[in-house]
Every structure is written in C-alpha cells, then in structure tokens.
Amino acid sequence: MIKFLFKGLIRDKSRSLIPFAVVAIGVMLAVFMRGYINGIMVDMIEQTARFNTGHVKVVTKAYAENISQMPADLSILEASELKNSLGEKFPEMEWECRIKFGGLIDVPDQSGETRSQGTAMGIGLDLLSTGSTEASRLNLTKSLVRGGLPDSPGEILISELFSNKLGVNPGDKVTLISSTMNGSMTFYNLTVAGTVRFGNTALDRGSIIADISDVRAALDMFDAAGEIVGFFPMGYYDDEIARSVLDKFNKELPDQSGEFSPVMLRLRDQEGLSLYVDLTKTMGMIITLLFMTAMSLVLWNAGLLGGLRRYGEIGIRIAIGEEKNHIYKSMIYESIIIGVAGTVAGTAAGLGLSWLMQTYGLDISEFTKNATTGIMMPDVVKARITLPDFYIGFIPGVISTVAGTMLSGIGIYKRKTAALFKELEA
C-alpha cells in the first residue's frame, strides 16, 4: 500500500508538490534559525573568552583569590615550562601566556615634559612570535582605526578614544609608569603603533595592548605570566569538555595547597559567568521553542487545508464504495510520506545554509559602520550546528503535518453517502 501511495504522489504533482514545498521550506527555516540563534548565543560568550577568560585559565592559587586586582606579584613563574606541560597534556588545545596590568600613560611634549597623562588598563599578548594566533583571535586587524599592528619590540596599540583624550597619534612616544612584579616603580618607553576600537565603553576609555615580551621587560617578569589561557579546538566553549579538562588537570596536579600552586578555572568559574552561560542556554532553548511552535502551527494549518481541499476527491472515493477507514488511513500515510520527504529535504537545505554561515559567516560591517564595533563586538555573524539540528525538523515537518491531516480527516466520517451525488453535481 505504501508503494502504491508513493507512486500516486509522484505521478500526481498537484497533490504532493505544494505540500512537499511547504514542509521543506518550513523545516529549512526552522533548522537554519536554530543554527543562527545558537551562533548568536555562542558569540556572546566567545568574545569574553577570547579577550579575557579563555575557555579555561591557569593561574596561581593566590592570583585566583585576587584575580580582579590583577596582582603581578602573584603571577606564574617559569610560565614557559608550565605552558609546554599543558601543551603535552592537552595537545588539541591552544595555550597562550598573558599578563594584565595597570599603570599610567605619560605623553611628553617636545621638551620632554609631561603634556598629558591617563590611567590605563593593559594586556600583554604574544603579538610578535612566528605562528602566534593572538592577533587574529582578538580581531585586531579589523579593529584598527589608525596605524598598524606592532611589528617590532617597543610598540603598542592604544584605544582610539584614549588616544584622542591624550592627544597621541601613531608614531608618537609614550611612557608607561607602573609597578614591577617586585613592587618597585618602573618607567618604560613605548611607541604607539596604531589605535583600535574595543567596542566596549570601559575598555575604550583607557586600554593598551602590548607584546608580552615588552610587558615582561617593563614589569621585571622574566618568563612569568599572570595567566595561561586555553582555547578548545572547535572554537567555542563547551561546559562538558571544560569539566573533563579540569578533572584531568586536577588529577595530574593533586597538590594545590601552596600559594603559588597552579589552579585551573573554567570560563563559567570566572566573573560570575556561570549564570550567563546557563542563561544563554535557556534563552537559546526558549527562542528555538517559540520559532518551532510558530512553524508547527504553519505546517499544521497546511496539513489541515490540504485535507479540506480534497473533500471532493474523498466524496468520489466514498461513492464508489471505498471504506472510510481506508481513506482516512491512506491520507495519514500520504502525509507521513510527504512530511518525511519534506523534512529530509528541508533539513538538508537548512544544514547547508547553517554550514555556510558557520564556515564563512555573514559580514555585517556594512550595516554597522556607525555602530560601536571592535574587538569585543565582531562584524561577522556565524551560525553553529549542533546535534539536535539533524532531527529537530521532524517535529514541525512530520508531527505537525500529520496532526493537521488527522484533524481534517475526521470530516470523512461525517460524510453521508446519500448527499454525495448532490455535492458532486454542485
């Protein structure tokens, strides 16, 4: 019977093409929108991870207890050895040393006297080493406003708003006044290589980015690092993977009682992000549920209308003696066939669009020229494909379509054979 119905649907395009197209388009939109929403939700976390927290972060126990103060005196010593050890234990991950520091930026005039000053929050990254991915990870090239990236020691990036406040331009000399790892005062001359926009008001008011070798020289932190951040190979935070990495790290280093013993923090363990991570998942589920409900109603209505339009055909079949139960079952089987075929086609199309957006992204820079975009606000939006995307389309595609057909088919049992000829004459 299924084979007979399948052939009938293929040969009678008027009965199958439009329902198939409606189901396929509806499922495609549902799958694509879910991937798009997942991508948006992930990006909200990833910008914080890339710039600040990493997917996981290794610091000393004392540093972790005072992490908001960025205490240089509690930094990791022999950071290169620890970084290499982490690379051996977790070779699939990328590990980078970073130093966060604060200080005063002094701008001299032509005679060497102070022309302007401003407090700054700085971050030391590996910008000059061959093969380093820090510049691309933080989207520094696209965030440049003036000048260029540092390409030699002693050069820094400064936020555009901060540079305007101090009255400095690319190529100007500035002096960093700060305290070293040992607590003494330090003065270190730097050159402004370029200006960037962070896309965050607090950071744009006073932030600098320097190569980590310059920060180590300025703060007497030879082979030291405030933190070693790790990033997962898939490019986004996964709480379960982070938990497994943390468990393995704690198993390898069971003694964490010392003040300078290394400890690992997940993204959700930092800066109150656990609530944000959970909220992001919840919001993604809520938005997806709302969209799936809307598409289910559309496809349910399509199945209902499809059944109603066939009342004339149903009348003829009853008139020639076909049983009502058989007609009702055949309509349900047909809707299942159309629903499955449309769902498969729609899922494939939706996954294809999601893959393109996940791989290449959607450049929205043309629409955000006047917006505050930058390091913390990327101009490329990407989707994210997850396992439920492969089967979630069957909810609106098959279940809703069949439900609409079943509801409309109830009218078959209300048809009176005596009235059929009168209906057909009309």
**pLDDT, averaged across the chain:** 81
How far is residue 406 from each of residues 9, 37, 338, measured CA to CA in Å? 18, 32, 14
Residue predicted with more confidence, 21 or 320: 21
Residue predicted with more confidence, 53 or 319: 53
How far is it, in rounded angstroms, from Cα 8 to Cα 333? 12
For residue 220, give both structure tokens: 């007497």
Range among 163-177, 255-269, 302-316, 369-383 rated most confident:
163-177
The pLDDT assigned to 173 comes to 93
pTM over 0.75: no
- DSSP string spanning 74-127? GPEESHHHHHHHHHHHSTTSEEEEEEEEEEEEEEE-TTSSEEEEEEEEEEEE--
The pLDDT assigned to 364 comes to 64
Alpha-helix residue ranges (DSSP H) falling in 126-211: 134-137, 140-143, 160-166, 201-205
Which tens digits make up the pLDDT trace of 385-422?
888 888 888 877 787 777 777 776 676 666 666 555 55
The pLDDT assigned to 370 comes to 46
The pLDDT assigned to 371 comes to 47
Residue predicted with more confidence, 293 or 14: 293
List the beta bridge partners of residue 207.
121
